[in-house]
Amino acid sequence: MQIKYKGGNKFEVKCKDLDVTFADQLTVNGFVFPGPGEYEKSGAIINGIADGSNTIYIVNAEDMNLCYLGELTHELTEDEVKQIGDVDILFLPLGEKGTVNVKSALKVLTKIDPRVSIPMLYTDLGEFKKGEGLVDGNEIDILKIKKSELPEEERKTYLLTATE
C-alpha cells in the first residue's frame, strides 16, 4: 500500500487493485460513494458512519483497516469508537477548517488507538508533535506499508509532506 498526502483533507491510497481517494468524498477506482452505509467495491469493504454533516469512513484494503475521520468536529463517543472498531491506519484532523483542536484530537487518537496515525488538516504540528513525543525531520513524501510492517507494540505516527 502506498499513501500520498495531497494537502488539506485529501489522501491518495494505491493498493494492488485499488485506487482510493479520501477527501470531501470517498472514491474507489473512480466510483464516488454517496455517504454513510456499508459497501463493497473491487474487493474493498467500506463502512461509512454518519457523523452530522461529516462521514467517517473505514476501508478494509490489503487486510488493513484504514479510518478516515474527515472533518471531525467533536471528540468521539464510546458508541462511535465501537462502530469504528480496530484501526490499523488513522487519518486524523488537527484543527484546520473547524475540526477538533489538537488536545481533542489526541484524546480521539487515544480512544481509537490505531497502529499508525497520519495527521491532516493542520496549520501547525508543534502541539501535536509535543503530545506524541515526535521530533522534527520525520516528514516523508510517500508512505509505503504492508500489513506485516505495522507496529506491534507502540503506535507510529507518520508526517506526510503534501504533494500536488
> What residues are paired with 58 via a beta bridge?
47, 67
81: domain range? 2-147
- Looking at residue 137, what is its pLDDT? 65
Whether residue 119 lies inside any domain: the answer is: yes
Answer positive or negative: Cα dihedral of 136, 69, 33, 148: positive
- Looking at residue 9, what is its pLDDT? 95
Give the pTM. Answer: 0.95
**Whether 128 contacts 122, CB under 8 Å:** yes
**Which cell numbers hold the place of 84?**
469504528
Q: Strand 31-32 to strand 26-28: parallel, antiparallel, or no bridges (unpaired)?
A: antiparallel
Whether residue 100 lies inside any domain: the answer is: yes
Indicate the average pLDDT of the chain: 93
CATH of the domain at 26: 3.60.15.10
Give the pLDDT mean for 9-32.
95
pLDDT for 138 beyond 80: no
> From its phi and psi, is residue 105 left (phi > 0), alpha (psi between -120 and 50) or beta?
alpha
- Looking at residue 28, what is its pLDDT? 96
Q: Percentage of the chain surpassing pLDDT 70? A: 99
Whether residue 44 lies inside any domain: the answer is: yes
Whether residue 8 lies inside any domain: the answer is: yes
- Looking at residue 83, what is its pLDDT? 96
- As for how many domains the chain has, the answer is 1
Whether residue 156 lies inside any domain: the answer is: no
Whether residue 125 lies inside any domain: the answer is: yes
Whether residue 73 lies inside any domain: the answer is: yes
Give pLDDT tens digits for 64-119.
999 999 999 999 999 999 999 999 999 999 999 889 999 999 999 999 999 999 99
Whether residue 39 lies inside any domain: the answer is: yes
